[in-house]
Amino acid sequence: MDIKTLGIDIGKTVFHLIGLDAHGKIVLRRRVSRTQLIRFAANLPVCLIGMEACGGAHHLSRALLALGHDVRLMPPQYVRPFVKSHKNDYRDAEAIAEAVQRPTMRFVATKTPEQLDLQALHRVRERLVGRRTALINQIRAFLLERGLTVGQGVSRLRQRMPSILEPESEADLSALMQRLLSGLWQEWQSLDHEIAELTGELERLARSDEICRRLRSIPGIGPITATALVAAVGNASGFSRGRDLAAWLGLVPRQFSTGGKTKLLGISKRGNRAIRRLLVQGAHAVLQSAERQQGRLGVWIRNLLARRHHNLAAVALANKMARIAWAVITRKESYSPAII
């Protein structure tokens, strides 16, 4: 078999393969297990291998790259248009084999084990933060049903909880509600401790990583955002320019243009939602100290605030922060307000 392109439809334990020759004709159709796939690829002449960027794809990509193959990962939404007729595993593999050959196809860089570790830390922390937010909202709802309101902000409720749970507190709480709120308060404190430990681990990794140290020189980017960017984009080799990174994060206007008439809508909100949220939050923090920002960026921020709403300015600044982050990573230089 003269296989030039191999499409792999990834499963948990079973993989479906479609091999194409130099003319695009199907010369292989096979179903293999995970161990059989590695042995098969080891005996295969070097070829182009395409896979969808999904769970387990990065580990498999590194294993196939080690065998000398040219492995490329693609976003699943870009492969879907190549599926012909009804969907099945072999047609998915065929669509992958055809899509990977397209010269305009966009690919996903294979993540290193270190990037996956950072990504795992962020996802665990994000889940715990979500649990804590839901728990705080539940506590507020229980207190409101008893006629007790607490001002906005987590810190205010945290300060009030010990006094609320006192036996002689102002809140008219039943014994059952006292026990429930006491359990929720203990769970809240436990979540705070777990989140603090993960945050400390991310800060330690941010101090030890060179790219993270350079990213932290950008206004509005701290250790959490820096490590999240490194986990997602690595050395940013998958983007040819800064605007591509901003577009990948969904920080550019969504287009609906036709007939030569350009129509721009709200931001596209594509890509990594967590990083987009972190950049926008960081931009809000920078805007609060706009008068202290130096260099051309400071002038740009102040002019932007003079003509645009604060929220629009925050999104625009988040877009610029993403572009600066790409430049800092690819040029291997720290941010300097005098030259950006």
Domain assignment present for 224: yes
Other C-beta atoms within 10 Å of 242: how many? 20
Whether 204 and 118 share a structural domain: yes
Choose the final residue of a domain: 47, 72, 99. Answer: 99
- How does pLDDT run across 193-226, given as a tens digit for each residue? 999 999 999 999 999 999 999 999 999 999 999 9
Q: Which of 212, 208, 206 lies closest to 325 in space, CA to CA? A: 212
Using the 3D structure, point to which of 146, 178, 208 is the last residue of a domain. 208
Whether residue 80 is found in the same domain as residue 162 = no
Please say if the pLDDT value at position 229 is more than 60. yes
- The radius of gyration of the chain's CA atoms, rounded to the nearest angstrom, is 25
pLDDT of residue 58: 94
269 with 199, same domain?
no
Does residue 314 share a domain with residue 283?
yes
Where a domain ends, among 165, 191, 208?
A: 208
Q: Answer yes or no: is 320 within a domain.
A: yes
Whether 285 maps to a domain, the answer reads yes
Domain shared by 310 and 227, yes or no: yes
Tell me the pLDDT tens digit for each residue of 72-118. 999 999 999 999 888 899 999 999 999 999 999 999 999 999 999 99
* Residue 106 is assigned to a structural domain of this protein: no
The domain of 162 spans 113-208
Q: What is the spatial distance between Cα 92 and Cα 76, in angstroms, rounded to a whole number?
A: 10
Look at residue 296 in the predicted model and tell me its pLDDT.
Answer: 87
How much is the pLDDT for 329?
A: 95
Match 């921020």 to its residue by tokens: 301
Compute how many other C-beta atoms are within 10 angstroms of the C-beta atom of residue 85. 6
Whose CA is closest to 320, among 15, 303, 44, 332?
Answer: 303
Do residue 149 and residue 167 come from a single domain? yes
Same domain for 251 and 296, yes or no, is: yes
Residues 57 and 24 in one domain: yes
Beta-strand relationship, 5-9 and 48-52:
parallel
Total domain count, the chain: 3
Does pLDDT of 340 surpass 60? no
139-196 pLDDT, tens digit per residue, is 999 999 888 888 888 999 999 999 888 877 666 788 899 999 999 999 999 999 999 9
Same domain for 94 and 175? no
Residue 272: what pLDDT? 87
The 3-state secondary structure of the chain, one letter per residue? CCCCEEEEECCCCEEEEEEECCCCCEEEEEEEEHHHHHHHHHCCCCCEEEEECCCCHHHHHHHHHHCCCEEEEECHHHHHHHCCCCCCHHHHHHHHHHHCCCCCCCCECCCCHHHHHHHHHHHHHHHHHHHHHHHHHHHHHHHHHCCCCCCCCHHHHHHHHHHHCCCCCCCCCCHHHHHHHHHHHHHHHHHHHHHHHHHHHHHHHHHHCHHHHHHCCCCCCCHHHHHHHHHHHCCCCCCCCHHHHHHHCCCCEEECCECCECCEEEECCCCCHHHHHHHHHHHHHHHHCHHHCCHHHHHHHHHHHHHCCHHHHHHHHHHHHHHHHHHHHHHCCCCCCCCC
Q: Using CA atoms in the order 52, 55, 59, 63, what is the torsion angle rounded to 10 degrees? A: -40
Is 107 contained in some domain? Answer: no
The two three-digit tokens of residue 226, written as one number:
């820096």
- Asked whether residue 105 is assigned to any structural domain, the reply reads no
pLDDT of 57 higher than 90: yes
**For residue 286, what are the CA distances in angstroms to 76, 119, 250, 291?**
36, 25, 20, 10
Pair 273, 225 in one domain: yes
Angstrom distance (rounded) from CA 274 to CA 131: 16
Residue 38 in any domain: the answer is yes
Residue 339 lies in a domain: no
Q: Are residues 201 and 221 in the same domain?
A: no
Does one domain contain both 226 and 315? Answer: yes
